[in-house]
Amino acid sequence: MAKRVTTIPATRNRFSSAPVYEAKRRKVAGYARVSTDSEEQQTSYENQVDYYTTYINSREDWELVGIFTDEGITATNTRHRDGFNQMIDAAMDGKIDLIITKSVSRFARNTVDSLTTVRKLKEKGVEIYFEKENIWTFDAKGELLITIMSSLAQEESRSISENTTWGKRKSFADGKAAVAYSRFLGYDDGFKINEDEADTVRLIYKLFLSGISYYAITKELEKREIKAPCGGKKWCISTVRSILTNEKYMGDALLQKGYTADFLQKKRKKNNGEIPQYYVEDHHEAIIDPGTFKLVQAEIQKRYGEGKKYSGVSVFASKIRCGKCGGWYGSKVWHSNDKYRKVIFRCNNKYKDGQKCDTPYLTEQDAARFFLEALEELFGVKEEVLCNLRDLRQTVADTGELESKKEILIQESGMLEEKLRILIAENAQVAQSQDEYNRRYQNVYGLYEECQSKLDGVENLITQKEARREIIDNFISNLEELKEPPQEFDEYLWGGVVDHMTVYEKGRVIFTFVGNIEIEIKE
């Protein structure tokens, strides 16, 4: 007996569950995007908006929801495209049934983003029509075609990114530097010195060498109503720190300090040796002389190296020590709201834990007077001190042994890195136990990390020695220029030659100058 098969037609849409034959107009949105904000692309953008508005309105079975747009954006992901994201949110809320766009590359240049979005919309019953490729996402072959087209678009983005990166790196290799001059204090286009701004840069270096902190410098600049690089009134600590550590202010240029690690996410990463860097000496005219710049780097290392805390609200902060408990003196304000207002420095442990520290307090005038007395004493033995400092500089400057250790560790690190590459290559080519592979990999990687840690330690010691040498060189220079004991307090001289002063009972003070040279002062 022959079988009879009766077809029962579908009555509901498999994506939206709406009745198939229900007379209902589809809610349609258009999406337009151009990659740059050039005049030519702007015209293209306006044309796209006009075209999709007319096209959607011409269909009786379509209802125009809106045209969503993004202009002046080159994006390999959809995270920062506001118009696109608003459109997807509306579709997910059931306000859109169909999205029309020019092509896959206009929709997304990232395969993962493209497919994820298409599938997410498909689950909500929202279809996308890519006009150029004639792809309807509800079509059986739609997803395969989208995968292929998105991959091609992604490779196009990769190619453009690599070409742009190659151009920049070629420029770096040729020793050509460029900065955002509108936000780079001290220079105009072409590294021409802007004298008004250069005076601000020189002031920042002077203030720092006088002993005050990044924060105190920002407050001083704001007090003087000097505008920040961005043009605002407020100065940030990070801005001051950047100015004090940027080699461009001494006329040199370190190129390729950072790089784009991922062309899809456009993430910038600090270059820690992953790609070549280029150091160009005498690239342009300097604002800060190299000696002063190196001295500032040495002072930064001394103040903030190894996680040290430094209080620099005044030139005397972090410079006065208690001879009884070893603590630091801090500033206090007496009679802050009346005419007897007075700033004094006293031991921070004076009333700590119920044990009174009875070393005397000092005023700024006291500290300045003691300093001038100590300089007079120092001047009396000037030649002997200079001789000792020159001998000390030779000892401090000797980094020969550390440089040898550094070279050995660099070679060892290179060999371990090569072993890791060999292990990875073997695992990719030869089938093997992954447990065994991971064990071998972790063993070698552990040795590599240990070697890198030792290398960092040696490099840090070399940096400390070089910083110490720069500070001693500055002290020698200051002392050589001192033809007679000064009669007035000089905060820049104070900051350059005094390591700290120690206050004892009964007016006894010992100054420790750079190089551990001590001078005792008594009332």
What is the spatial order of strands in the sheet that 342-347 belongs to? 329-334, 342-347, 362-363
pLDDT of residue 158: 59
- Rounded to whole angstroms, the Cα distance separating 290 from 210 reads 18
CATH 3.90.1750.20 range(s) for the chain read 185-307
pLDDT of residue 390: 86
pLDDT of residue 263: 39
CATH 3.40.50.1390 range(s) for the chain read 26-161
Judge residue 189's burial from the number of C-beta atoms within 10 Å of its C-beta, 0-12 exposed, 13-18 middle, 19 or more buried: exposed
pLDDT of residue 235: 93
Q: CA neighbours within 13 Å on the CB side: how many for 435?
A: 0
Kindly give the parts of the chain with pLDDT less than 50. Answer: 15, 36-42, 73-77, 166, 169, 172, 261-265
pLDDT of residue 174: 56
pLDDT of residue 170: 54
Backbone φ and ψ for 194, nearest 5 degrees, come out as -95, 105
pLDDT of residue 109: 54
pLDDT of residue 354: 65
CATH class of 26-161: alpha beta
Cα–chain-centroid distance for residue 362? 41
> Are 130 and 170 within 8 A, CB to CB?
no
pLDDT of residue 189: 87
Encoded tokens for 197: 């701004």
**Fold that domain 185-307 belongs to in CATH:** Hect, E3 ligase catalytic domain fold (3.90.1750)
